[in-house]
Structure 1
Amino acid sequence: MEHKPSGSKLLSSVGAGLRLLKIFSADEPELGITVLAKRLQVAKSTAHRLVSTLVAEGFLEQNPADGKYRLGLLLFSLGGLVRLRMEASEVSVPFLRALCDQTGETVHLGVLLHTETRFETLYVRNIESPHAIRPRSYLGVRMPAFCTCEGRVLLAFGPSAQEQQVLSLPLEPRTTSTVTDPQKLQPILERIRAQGFALDDEESETGMRGIAAPIRDASAEVVAAVGLVGPVQRLNDERVAQYTPKLLETALAISKGLGYSQLLGSSSLTAGKQWV
């Protein structure tokens, strides 16, 4: 019978593995078991088990010439995902400012954060409206992805398995308008995919309305979302219809800045006259 570590032991092992990875540096790119064990203050046998697991998972690799260990290419791949998010944040700034100037409304850039039990929109850029009445600053704030316009875009254009996972979770309402029924939320995500943008109609914050569109990278993968948010009194149906093309143009411009080409695929960045 296979023996599985308890939750506390597993967390302890994960923590030790992460501490081990942080020992490597530009000055010491390769290290042996003896040094790693000493730095971690553990037995060599323990260090060897940790290293073996990290090698098997691709986080470390062994130099066949001297037997020492170095960071694996999987970390380079994962770092690339973080770099893409940061690059999207940097590239987006002039386009977000232009959209804010054109509409007079607050403009956000959001990315998706998720674990097995939580999917959230993280706001990494925020250009505030000049109006006195405006949404509070979301910079650095995390909000449930299922009810924000940016989060819905990221869920709608993400992996289908991820969408099903979200729909299987208990969803807590943030306002009296929040849609939490999976049977109602799934058709909303389907419409977002069809039309290329999403609407948050007082679902994440009472009195505020927002529209969002996807931002794609050079591989046409959606890596972020641009959202435009304002009070319902200003962002009425007429203005939503007026601002949506500008929002889509902004999303496309940022995407092109990340190397995206419409020749690669989806027309979702310029599609859609209807809104939900």
Structure 2
Amino acid sequence: MEQKTQRKTERKTGTASSKSRLSSVANSLRLLKVFSDEDSEIGISALAQRLGLAKSTVHRLASTLIGADMLEQNPDSGRYRLGLALLELGALVRRKMDVSNEAKPYLRMLRETTGETVHLAILDHASVFYVTKLESKQAIRMSSEVGARAPAHCTADGKALLAFQPDDFVDEVIGFGLQGRTQNTITNAKALRRDLAAVRARGYAIDDEESEIGLRSVAAPIRTQSQTVIASLSIAGPAHRVSRRALVSYAREVVGAADAISQRLGCRPLRALQSGSGARAAQPPSRRVV
């Protein structure tokens, strides 16, 4: 009987603790949203009044946010202001929005020139996240959804992104396990590292029925002004239509488009393809230079 009572008490304590944490998170977010252009620095009394919280609670929340660099305290006035961590997060969101907008005309161009499905993707831990997709107009085509995720180690988009990540990040992805999707999936750590080295050398990645039987794709990385790879551009289609020879041809197209997007994001012109044929920076139809 005592054990049952103890378990109930533990459950209640755990539930109360969870609710308290959620309340703290919600109040922290409310606190951050109080700041504006007009009120860039606010004192603790004003914050407590606007939030309807005790000063001690606001002080505790502010201390936690300062520790995370999301809030700063003016050493002269003692007032609080937004921290650099929020600027970094905002810049990250802005870059993602910028690359999506800049990629749209090139996605349209690639779909028109190849007739296949094209994607813009970003890396999310051990997965790729499809940000934008333009589907092939042909009856038989690759099926995918915006917002869907796929394993990074066996997709062209994923390998185009993984190839330019730090070694410890790749090690972490490998640590999650390289699950086999088909008989072509790379499931060996050394083999994956060799493949990623080849991606870096030639400037594009290939999925030769590694994620799904009957599907081939090719992808190239998109860089920012700092040379950081933040997204990938890909062409994908059924294997009966996208031969290995076609993949090489599509590689030139996708590298050229990815380089053009990178240049529009402030990155300097990148390398030529390993074959020796320079990948021209593609121009979308609406922006083609005559």
TM-score bucket of the superposed structures, by smaller chain: 0.7 to 0.9
Stretches of structure 2 that go unaligned for 5 or more consecutive residues are 1-13, 277-290
The structure 1 residue matched to 2:153, chosen from 138, 146, 156, is 146
Shift of 1:64: 4.2
Going from structure 1 to structure 2, the CA distance change for 1:10 and 1:214 (only over 3 Å counts) comes to farther
Percent identity over paired residues: 45
Match of 1:57 in 2: 68
The structure 1 residue matched to 2:250, chosen from 235, 243, 250, is 243
Shift of 1:189: 1.2
- Alignment of 1:89 with 2:91, yes or no, is no
Match of 2:273 in 1: 271
Distance 2:18 2:274 in 1: 50
Going from structure 1 to structure 2, the CA distance change for 1:68 and 1:152 (only over 3 Å counts) comes to same
- Alignment of 1:228 with 2:239, yes or no, is no
Shift of 1:25: 4.0
Going from structure 1 to structure 2, the CA distance change for 1:48 and 1:199 (only over 3 Å counts) comes to same
Q: Residues 125-163 of structure 1: CA distance to partner in whole angstroms, max 9, x if unpaired?
A: 111111111111332222222222111111111222211
- Alignment of 1:31 with 2:42, yes or no, is yes
TM-score (norm 2): 0.80
Shift of 1:20: 3.2
Shift of 1:68: 2.2
- Alignment of 1:187 with 2:198, yes or no, is no
- Structure number with greater Rg is 2
Shift of 1:218: 1.2
- Alignment of 1:72 with 2:83, yes or no, is yes
Distance 1:127 1:273 in 2: 28
Distance 2:178 2:44 in 1: 46
Q: Residue type of the partner of 1:254?
A: I
Shift of 1:254: 0.8
Q: Secondary structure at the match of 2:220?
A: strand
Shift of 1:10: 10
Distance 1:44 1:176 in 2: 62
Match of 2:259 in 1: 252
Higher mean displacement: 170-179 or 90-99: 170-179
Q: Secondary structure at the match of 1:112?
A: strand
Q: Secondary structure at the match of 2:226?
A: coil
Q: Residues 196-255 of structure 1: CA distance to partner in whole angstroms, max 9, x if unpaired?
A: 111112222332111000111111111111011000001111111221111111111111
How many residues get paired? 260
Q: Residue type of the partner of 1:271?
A: L
Q: Secondary structure at the match of 1:22?
A: helix
Distance 1:112 1:179 in 2: 18
- Alignment of 1:48 with 2:59, yes or no, is yes
Match of 1:20 in 2: 31
Q: Residue type of the partner of 1:123?
A: Y
Distance 1:178 1:187 in 2: 14
The structure 1 residue matched to 2:223, chosen from 216, 224, 241, is 216
Does structure 2 retain, via aligned residues, the 8 Å contact 1:201–1:209? yes
Q: Residue type of the partner of 2:246?
A: R
Q: Residues 16-56 of structure 1: CA distance to partner in whole angstroms, max 9, x if unpaired?
A: 53443234345644333344445666543232122123223
Q: Residue type of the partner of 1:107?
A: V
Going from structure 1 to structure 2, the CA distance change for 1:187 and 1:93 (only over 3 Å counts) comes to same
Q: Secondary structure at the match of 1:21?
A: helix
Match of 1:261 in 2: 268
Q: Residue type of the partner of 1:125?
A: T
- Alignment of 1:101 with 2:90, yes or no, is no
Where in structure 2 are the equivalents of 1:1-16 lying within 5 Å? 12=22, 16=27
Match of 1:3 in 2: none
